[in-house]
Structure 1
Amino acid sequence: MTKTPARQGTRPLLWGVLVLSAAANALTSALGVNLLLSTIFGVVTLAAGIALIANYRSRR
């Protein structure tokens, strides 16, 4: 089977989104900002983590 190569910029972009959204989630949680905003950052962090795992698994 041949696998289509993933774009080169996908993994660093996902890491950037993961780090920034995790930091934003921690900051909004610590400051007691709107719970909805903190939840959105948490969902984005989770989605970026899942995407990184899927990217890793597809490249194995």
Structure 2
Amino acid sequence: MTDSRMRPLLWVALILSLAANAVASTIGATVVSVVFGVLTLACGATLVVGHYRHRRD
């Protein structure tokens, strides 16, 4: 999968996992919240790494 196809999917995954994390935290599902939190961090970190790798000097 090319980087141009991956970025929008990562953004969608980031937003959905962020929303799921907020809902899970609100209802008190700690384990589910941690899973979605880690997924959110992974998506965000991947987007940041991609940004720094492909930015122009």
For the aligned pair, the TM-score class normalised by the smaller chain equals 0.7 to 0.9
Calculate the TM-score normalised by the size of structure 2.
0.88
Structure with a larger share of its residues in helix: 2
Cα distance in 2 for residues equivalent to 1:16 and 1:46: 13
> Equivalent residue of 1:52, what SS?
helix
Moved over 6 A (4+): none
Consecutive unaligned residues in structure 1, runs of 5 or more: 1-5
Cα distance in 1 for residues equivalent to 2:22 and 2:33: 8
Calculate the TM-score normalised by the size of structure 1.
0.84
Q: CA-atom RMSD, angstroms?
A: 1.0
Q: Percent of aligned positions with the same letter in both sequences?
A: 44
